[in-house]
Amino acid sequence: MAKVKKVFVCTNCGATSPKWEGKCSSCGEWNTLQEEVLVKGSSSKQEKRKTWTSNDEVQLNKPVALPDIIAGDTPRLALPDQELNRVLGGGVVPGSLVLVGGQPGIGKSTLLLQTAMQAQAKVLYISGEESKEQIKMRADRIDNHQSECYILTETNTAKIFKHIQNVAPDIVIVDSIQTLSSPHIDSMPGSVSQVRDCAGELQRFAKETHISIFIIGHINKEGSIAGPKLLEHIVDAVLQFEGDQHYTYRILRTIKNRFGSTDEMGIYEMQANGLREVANPSELLLSQKDEDLSGSGIAATIEGMRPILIETQALVSTAVYGTPQRSATGFDLRRLSMLLAVLEKRGGFPFAQNDVFLNIAGGIRVDDPAIDLAIVSALISSLEDVSIPNNICFAGEVGLSGEIRAVNRVERRIQEAARLGFDQIFISKYNTKGLDPDRYDIKIVTLGKIDELYKLLFE
Ligand code: TYD
Ligand code: MG
């Protein structure tokens, strides 16, 4: 008889505890412990392997001297989707396990079904969420049917591994990890032990068969349903699909990548016939307007390795209630408060009596500190109700004493601004080292403090 054992598992980090606790002793999160039933005695390692290895011989895994290992330049499988290739570090590595996370409804299934249908490879798309007919309906909306793509609706990992061996695909897509269940574990699909174990089985499977596997994982706002931390260390790469549901732009960021850089980012636009790659993001993120309006500043940011020009919009209005409101979309609210405090203290601008609303175009979240200068300009522009000419853009970080600080890769930003036809770019005066202004077809304005900004723009 199998021995039934109960444990409490943290849904954030996966740590176990024999008794319930309010706070996880491992990661410190509150209220994350859930009871789970483990069946001991039936899930020895040997049996686990049986679920998919046809021949059970133990592979002799002897230690090998480092120089004797041939790195075997395993070619990556390039996908037709350039954005996805970019975030993966130049294509799919055979035998890799990639997690694509994101909130429900953001477009994860669409992205991977589209990839499955367009890849020049044999792909098996396994869904535990939708029926074959539903997938077919989605597929009909997406154009470009080229590849050999098989659909399987199954959630039992043992059966899944058998099917994969029969089909022998190059790429497997699993939608989603939360629906899988391993026959060796007794807890519910989506529970911590199931998710962790199924991911572990998939990882071993991928490594030994050299089939690349993409898994979709739902992440809610708190990241609590089988939190990303739980899976992050099991998989080879974590891609996060994000964006505002009310906008059509979607961003695919690399959070972790064992085979490439984590600086990369891909941009898509959700359309009626699937996700379209956005090769030239700047041209879309700059709103087309004829007249100059106050409260708008254009930032030359770098997202991943690509320069992107993004419009920031600010609205400053007299506060109706005692405590002024501050609200920001796509930007850190605390950083906005910091910038307002700097403007108040170092520039003497009366923001304390005003409501401030800030918006980054396209619903895109920007982490690049170089956006500060554009935001500060937009804020002053709205406060003074004087517009900034739309042939000017900005790239600079604002420090606590009101100084404009240097930003990285300034040449790339200047080039992109020049390419898009801007006439002037404002940068920090500390950013000019090694910069030859004559090389660019744009006027470079340098400044050291925020009060200079006011003089340059509005006087
Ligand atoms: P979906 O891929 O189902 O999201 P997830 O798997 O992350 O939960 O897609 C969600 C949204 O995308 C859905 O609201 C409909 C929209 N959509 C389009 O706009 N165009 C399309 O071609 C498809 C397939 C979906
Ligand atoms: Mg889905």
Over the chain (459 residues), what is each successive 10-residue block's mean pLDDT? Answer: 74 83 85 75 49 52 79 79 90 92 89 90 93 91 79 93 93 91 84 87 92 88 57 90 82 88 86 87 71 88 86 92 88 94 92 92 84 95 92 94 93 91 93 87 93 87
Distance 183 CA to ligand 1 centre (A): 31
Give the architecture-level CATH label for domain 77-279.
Answer: 3-Layer(aba) Sandwich (3.40)
Domain parsing of the chain, residue ranges = 3-42, 77-279, 283-457
CATH assignment, 283-457: 3.30.230.10
Please tell me the predicted confidence (pLDDT) of residue 59: 55
Please tell me the predicted confidence (pLDDT) of residue 39: 61
- Angle, CA of 204, 49 and 124, to the nearest 5°: 55
Q: Is the CB of 274 under 6 A from ligand 1?
A: yes
Q: What atom of ligand 1 comes closest to residue 110's alpha carbon?
A: 2
Please tell me the predicted confidence (pLDDT) of residue 400: 94
Would you say 340 and 347 are in contact if contact means Cβ atoms under 8 Å apart? no
Please tell me the predicted confidence (pLDDT) of residue 14: 77
Would you say 386 and 455 are in contact if contact means Cβ atoms under 8 Å apart? no
Question: What sign for the dihedral angle of Cα 194, 199, 202, 204?
Answer: negative
Q: What is the C-alpha separation between 139 and 122, in angstroms, rounded?
A: 16
- 3-state DSSP assignment of residue 355: strand
Q: Which tokens sit at 258?
A: 């064992």
- 3-state DSSP assignment of residue 160: helix
Ligand approaching nearest to the C-alpha of 103:
1
Would you say 211 and 171 are in contact if contact means Cβ atoms under 8 Å apart? yes
Domains 77-279 and 283-457 share a fold: no
- Angle, CA of 19, 21 and 25, to the nearest 5°: 105
Ligand approaching nearest to the C-alpha of 112:
1
User: pTM for this structure?
Assistant: 0.78
Q: What atom of ligand 1 comes closest to residue 113's alpha carbon?
A: 2
Please tell me the predicted confidence (pLDDT) of residue 226: 53
Amino acid of residue 447: L
